[in-house]
């Protein structure tokens, strides 16, 4: 096996649960660390153009800080990632009222989404499998939902996430990972010198609360036209609303694996490519990170990282024309997303 996996204690949660940190290391020395708390990506160490390893994901050195700053750092988001308008939905004639945590809406699962739950981590050969049973009624979602995410660190420095889920009752599901990337290093503090390309010609316009209006709009002539490489510092502050990027791009991939985005950081020589089978990719440039201390005493703040959240479209349960997020008994939800790191 080319990838070795080790585990070590990572402290206790506030309610006394033991947290484990798993480290996946490939033969080239790249490594990824995963916590069973939230199934979250805690570290990603990859080389720069000079061969020097650096951690390119934002996070914390201890479990207490993850609990104190619930901004989804590296976490798995669910049951339903992104927003559900009005914090409720109706499925098969029954209305389910959810926790309001984002304006008038529900965001990333509710009061305590999957990123704040303890997952079961199992080393299976050269892969790490994290699993979680979300019981019927948790956060007011119906059905016992069994979720499994397999993490693999490949020899080409790709981090591969394979998701699988089943339910005992009709429910809705939209899973994603919320790692904050900064290719200059997690403590670099800004994204200005990153260059981004989004392989998408359409996006979802939003209302004032961040919920899609229901139309799919072409990026032509907008600040969301990132089909050619754009320096983040030249575009980030011009996005409508004044809060940087927090928008779903449509991939039109029919469930097939597609290159969705590429981010380059010329000073370090690193690049990141995101491929996914999901129909959407949320680009988020971390406007809501308030000043805080991250790993190794690093200062984190607004625009200090970017997220590439592979997902179904937000608020799909209220938008019949969007790809469905309904999952029924006998069906299996699947998703594969790959984050590949390399040198320009």
The structural domains of the chain, with segments of one domain joined by +, span 47-115+166-343
CA–chain centroid gap for 211, Å, is 18
Give the Cα separation of 239 and 115 in Å (integer).
Answer: 28
Residue 88 to residue 57: CA distance in whole angstroms: 33
CA-to-CA separations, 199 to 31, 139, 212, 261, 276, in angstroms, rounded: 27, 35, 20, 6, 12
Q: Pick the catalytic residue: 108, 178, 194, 265?
A: 178
pTM equals 0.98
Query: d(Cα 299, Cα 215) in Å, to the nearest integer?
Result: 39
Looking at residue 1, what is its pLDDT? 59
Closest CA to 101 of 116, 91, 90: 116
Structure tokens at 31: 């490594």
Quickly name the fold that domain 47-115+166-343 has: Beta-galactosidase; Chain A, domain 5 (2.70.98)
Q: Which of 108, 264, 309, 312 is catalytic?
A: 309
Residue pLDDT, tens place only, 259-282: 999 999 999 999 999 999 999 999
- pLDDT digits (tens), the chain, 344 positions: 589 999 999 999 999 999 999 999 999 999 999 999 999 999 999 999 999 999 999 999 999 999 999 999 999 999 999 999 999 999 999 999 999 999 999 999 999 999 999 999 999 999 999 999 999 999 999 999 999 999 999 999 999 999 999 999 999 999 999 999 999 999 999 999 999 999 999 999 999 999 999 999 999 999 999 999 999 999 999 999 999 999 999 999 999 999 999 999 999 999 999 999 999 999 999 999 999 999 999 999 999 999 999 999 999 999 999 999 999 999 999 999 999 999 99
Distance CA 311, CA 81 (A): 7
- Residue-averaged pLDDT of the chain: 97
The residue assigned the tokens 């996005």 is: 239
**What are 5's two structure tokens?**
């996996």
Residue 250: CB partners within 8 Å, gap ≥ 6?
Answer: 200, 202, 203, 204, 216, 279, 280, 313
Closest CA relative to residue 185, chosen from 270, 246, 262, 244: 270
Cα–Cα dist 21/10, whole Å = 6
Active site annotation includes 264:
no
For this structure, is 186 an active site residue?
no
Closest CA to 89 of 81, 99, 98: 98
Looking at residue 57, the DSSP 8-state letter turns out to be B
329 contacts 167 by C-beta, under 8 angstroms: yes
Whether the CB-CB separation of 210 and 103 falls below 8 Å is answered with yes
């Amino acid at each position: 096996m080319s990838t070795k996996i080790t585990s070590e204690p990572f402290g206790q949660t506030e309610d006394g649960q033991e947290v484990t940190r798993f480290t996946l290391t490939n033969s080239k020395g790249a490594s990824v660390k995963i916590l069973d708390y939230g199934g979250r990506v805690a570290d990603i160490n990859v080389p720069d153009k000079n061969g020097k390893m650096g951690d390119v994901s934002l996070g914390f050195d201890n479990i207490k800080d993850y609990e104190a700053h619930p901004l989804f750092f590296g976490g798995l988001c669910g049951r339903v990632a992104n927003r559900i308008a009005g914090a409720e939905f109706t499925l098969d004639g029954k209305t389910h009222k959810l926790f309001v945590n984002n304006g008038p809406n529900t965001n990333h699962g509710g009061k305590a989404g999957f990123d704040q739950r303890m997952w079961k981590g199992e080393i299976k050969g050269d892969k790490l499998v994290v699993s979680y049973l979300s019981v019927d009624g948790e956060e007011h979602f119906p059905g016992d939902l069994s979720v499994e995410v397999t993490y693999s660190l490949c020899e080409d420095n790709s981090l591969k996430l394979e998701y699988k889920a089943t339910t005992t009752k009709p429910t809705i599901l939209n899973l994603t990972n919320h790692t904050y990337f900064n290719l200059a290093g997690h403590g670099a503090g800004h994204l200005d010198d990153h260059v981004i390309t989004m392989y998408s010609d359409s996006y979802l316009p939003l209302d004032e609360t961040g919920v899609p209006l229901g139309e799919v709009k072409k990026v032509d002539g907008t600040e969301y036209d990132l089909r050619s490489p754009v320096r983040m510092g030249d575009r980030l502050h011009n996005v409508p609303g004044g809060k940087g990027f927090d928008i779903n791009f449509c991939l039109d991939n029919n469930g097939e694996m597609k290159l969705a985005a590429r981010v380059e950081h010329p000073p370090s020589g690193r690049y990141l490519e995101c491929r996914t089978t999901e129909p959407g990719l949320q680009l988020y440039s971390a406007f809501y990170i308030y000043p805080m201390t991250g790993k190794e005493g690093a200062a984190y703040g607004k625009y200090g990282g970017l997220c590439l959240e592979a997902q179904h479209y937000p608020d799909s349960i209220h938008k019949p024309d969007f790809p469905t997020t309904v999952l029924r008994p006998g069906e299996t939800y699947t998703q594969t997303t790959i984050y590949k790191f390399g040198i320009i």
